[in-house]
Amino acid sequence: MKQSGRADSKWLPIALASLVLCNGCSVLPGFNKELPGNRAFIDYWAPDPNSKQPTLAVKDNIDIKGVVTTAGSGFFSQTHKPAEKDAACLAIARRRKVQIVGKTNMTEFAISPSGMNEYFGTPENPLKRNLIPGGSSSGNAIAVASGMADMAFGTDTAGSNRVPAACCGIVGLKTTYGLIPIKGVYPVEPHLDSVGPMGKDIDHTVQGMDLLQDGFAAKYAAAKAAKPTARSIRVGRLKLKSTDPKIDQAIDDALAKTGFQVVELDNSVSDKFEQAKKDGTTVAAAGAWISDGRFEFALGVAARTKSVIQYGQLNFTTGYRSALARRSAWQRTLNDVFAKVDVIALATLQKTPPGLPLLNLRIGIMEAHLLQVQNTVAVNFAGNPALAVPVPLRGARVPLTSLQLIGPRLAEADLLNAGRLIEYAVNK
């Protein structure tokens, strides 16, 4: 392997597999508690049919008073006590008496992008059952897509709201770093973690955001009034070389049909995005080691999870600090782009969601693949907000792909307004 400031991405599948296969403890079986039905919820509480309050699902790495926060882990479900109080991000929902209908399934410790879970079972993708649901907020996506909740709160460290939204045909919002309090949320990486809403459409995602930030509905109304049509919105179109041409075409078709002013971004931005993606992946992977390294040899923790933790240790020792040192330069690059355009548009995923492996070796190869095809972590690395919106896709095994919009800091209302215009244009 050549020497660099990080573990070279082409060796990622081999590194993950080797780390697990060399660790005897990692291949020991864990608990087995597969959930019934579509496996969206770890705990489900049926809503009051007579209530007019909306229903909210909560990812199970967010504390709810009196409920064990499993973080998708059988080990935690067996060893942890119920939370003593709600996470801070639930305060508005509690005050408004929203119906919280359950804690949703997720990848263990929120550190894997596939959405697969060996202990609770993998939630079923509503677009096609044999495809991965995407993670780590997989249960959220299935709960919303299946109508079991109007909206959901998830976390996004490297794409964990947007990736499952892209895989399952719903909307996912990654909020500006630091905007929503993360006290009471099980951590992954302190420089990247965020809380955000997911919904079946833009309206429900706006409702979810209004439960996370007081006064957001008014900000969204103001954004709609300021730019009621797409003609006044400048969209910087970012294309990455590895993206499936059918997906790029679907993105271009959606932008053209909506009527935005589209500005092609040059290759220098693409090159810097790719570097930020590598750096963000390094930091996110190291976060798995920082937060969960103590479980590297714990019985009952899935081998898949251990492979990610061990790969995180490799990244922490080889590239973590140098990657963080490049973050401010990437932030300046985005600021320069946003001086010329209002939002940036690109594919959320470079490929359609992969199928569930026929032979589940539990060694993290699927995670390695997803890290390469997702275009999300560079946004977390900068701290900006981003929105994943479904758009039609022709000639593929699924009818939808996902268009990602990136905005300046605190531009959530503007992103959702642009998403509203896209949603209307592609569905009419």
Three-class DSSP labels, 131-147? ECCCCCCHHHHHHHHCC
Enumerate the active-site residues. Answer: 59, 136, 160
Classify strands 400-406 and 343-347 as parallel, antiparallel or unpaired: antiparallel
Please report how the helices 327-338 and 267-292 are oriented relative to each other, as an axis angle in degrees rounded to 10: 140
Nearest residue to 303 (alpha-carbon basis) of 107, 80, 25, 114: 25
Dist CA 311 CA 370 (whole Å) = 15
